[in-house]
Structure 1
Amino acid sequence: MSTGDERVPGADGMRACATGFVARVTARNRLPLDYSERSLRIVDFLVDGLRKGGADLEGARETLFGLGAYVGEVLVRRAGAVWVDLDADQRAYFGQPVGVRMPDGRVWNPVGRVHNRFTTGDPEDSLRTFYLTLHGRTRPSRRPPVTLP
């Protein structure tokens, strides 16, 4: 899929993008990015730290995309979502080439949600709250979480 920015993977590359991002960030820091719903608090904290550190949107773009890929992968692993390449109308609406489709068919934009949190800095844009109030997610199972490579 051509997005104008060839560094942005399609849906089939988003899991690798998320796991690569987690490997890079956790190699330097002991961040508990374990793909749990609880770990989305860490994402909120990281985004807020970028803002408070004075990063501009362009300078933080790659990190924000990695965090968005991570949030999307949490939705895939915990809420029953699947990564999808967005069609032209969806790309125009979301401003992103990829998103996630929930089990009920709704499409969400985790990368855009991370950008919104960064841009507004509003606690109302919390990524953990986004997950908890997300329509269309599956009920959590009682089985232990599966961590995929």
Structure 2
Amino acid sequence: MRSCAAEFVARATARHRLPLDYSVASLRVVDFLVDGLRKGGAGWEQVRETLFGLGAYVGEVLVRRAGAVWVDFDADQRTYFGQPVGVRMPDGRIWNPLGKVRNRFDLGGPGESLQTFYLTLHGRGRRAVA
């Protein structure tokens, strides 16, 4: 997933000067990007790959800034989360950044903010890796 996030950032920043630097503050940019897709009237199928890339990016921010590690979900977790992968936090909790991006797209609003998701996330460690 790390390479998926890096490829997404390379594509997204090649055309636009987006501050996708894996910082916590950059998650606000992700909020704006998802909101723009929503407001543009795009359907899920039209933006599926972009949302997956954004979810990989959000997960990679959790890896780099909160001490998470990428994990493949088992069959029950795949069914529950509707995604193949997620992150495990230092305290052992499992989170679904791909699904969180999907929720932001489907539901919108401040309650689905990705930056707020990070800031209120349980199980974060204090680790900053470039």
- TM-score bracket for this pair, using the shorter chain length: over 0.9
Contact 2:65/2:129 (<8 A) preserved: no
- Please say which structure displays the higher CA radius of gyration: 1
Structure 1 unpaired stretches of 5+:
1-13
Identity of matched residues, %: 78
TM-score, length-normalised on structure 2?
0.98
More helix by share: 2
**Partner residue in 2 for 1:40:** 27
TM-score, length-normalised on structure 1?
0.85
Pair 1:102-2:116 in alignment: no
- CA drift of 1:26 comes to 0.3
- CA drift of 1:122 comes to 1.9
One-letter amino acid of the structure 1 residue matched with residue 34 of structure 2: V
One-letter amino acid of the structure 2 residue matched with residue 71 of structure 1: V
- CA drift of 1:139 comes to 2.5
Whole-angstrom distance in 2 between the partners of 1:81 and 1:59: 30
Structure 2 unpaired stretches of 5+:
none
- Give the number of aligned pairs: 130
Whole-angstrom distance in 2 between the partners of 1:146 and 1:78: 6
For residue 76 of structure 2, the aligned residue among 76, 89, 95 is 89
Whole-angstrom distance in 1 between the partners of 2:42 and 2:68: 31
Secondary structure of 2:70's counterpart equals strand
Whole-angstrom distance in 2 between the partners of 1:54 and 1:121: 13
Pair 1:71-2:58 in alignment: yes
RMSD over aligned CA atoms reads: 0.8
